Amino acid sequence: MTSQAESRGSRDQGLHAHLLAALGPAITAGEFPPGTVLRTDELADRYEVSRTVVREAVRVLESMHLVESRRRVGVTVLPTEAWNVYDPQVITWRLAGADRPRQLRSLTMLRSAVEPVAARLAAELATPEECAELTEHALGLVRTSRGEQLPGYLVHDIAFHRVILRASRNEMFARLGDVVAAVLTGRTEHEVMFRDPRQAAVTLHVQVAEAVREGDAATAERLMRTITEDAMAELDVLAP
């Protein structure tokens, strides 16, 4: 065993996480085309870890359906269709990779399918506390809608949509909060958004908060549909 201190790599969460952080992005980025076979020993040698660590990382990749391990064959990279594209880890890796635009488009489409329904449910089921949160974040959007306050705007935007999804009282919807956060963050980071958030969007958010507070499900859904469709349109304009 060499000094085993490792130059740096990842002090975060263990060697297996380090390996995952190396293999996951590489696979999702297509550096290993589907059908590529990786050997455990080779990986252990390449990344200077024991086979134990490699096997644990492979097990995780396998649970994400990124690879398949077969005896006497090796660890085979699976085609995209097999991947667990809802796994937050996979989403993160892909958003950081080459096919980011395609990924962003898929996720935005998912948003535009789910969020309007979530808004309708929220209007029917939101607690007073959640209504208050919505109003607060809507006001936050108004405050940060002008000038160089994109980071602040982003925080309120994410929080607003998280509350909507959570207030829908649907587990599956609530879990998309992370996805929405990733999409919105990505949009801001890559300046796939005008420097001054459009006032129309801000107004719509305020109105959604109102509709939810008043229990107007139909209006909440319609307004949210407008918001997400605008997001889709924005993407169509600024991406191939």
Partner DNA sequence: CAACCTCATTACGTCATACGTATTCAATAG
Partner DNA sequence: CTATTGAATACGTATGACGTAATGAGGTTG
| Angle formed by the axes of helices 88-95 and 100-125, nearest 10° | 140
> HSE-up of 85 (CA within 13 Å, CB side)?
11
> HSE-up of 150 (CA within 13 Å, CB side)?
15
- Smallest gap from residue 170 Cβ to its own copies (A): 5
> Per-residue x/- mask for DNA, residues 62 to 81, rule CB under 7 A?
-------xxxxxxx------
Q: Which stretch binds its own copies (CB under 8 A): 36-44, 117-125, 130-138, 157-165?
A: 117-125
Q: For residues 193 and 151, what is the distance between their CA atoms, to the nearest angstrom?
A: 12
- CB of 20 or CB of 202, closer to DNA: 20
* Residue whose structure tokens are 């999702």: 28
Q: For residues 84 and 78, what is the distance between their CA atoms, to the nearest angstrom?
A: 11
Q: For residues 181 and 162, what is the distance between their CA atoms, to the nearest angstrom?
A: 8
- What residue type is assigned to position 139 of the chain? L
Q: Which stretch binds DNA (CB under 7 A): 45-53, 118-126, 163-171, 230-238?
A: 45-53
Binding of DNA by 61 (CB under 7 A): no
> Per-residue x/- mask for its own copies, residues 44 to 73, rule CB under 8 A?
--------x--xxx-xx-xxx---------
Contact 15, 49 (CB under 8 A): yes
User: Where does this chain bind DNA (CB under 7 A)?
Assistant: 1, 4, 14-16, 38-41, 48-53, 55-56, 58, 69-75
User: Where does this chain bind its own copies (CB under 8 A)?
Assistant: 16, 52, 55-57, 59-60, 62-64, 80-81, 84-89, 102, 106-107, 109-110, 112-114, 116-118, 121, 170-175
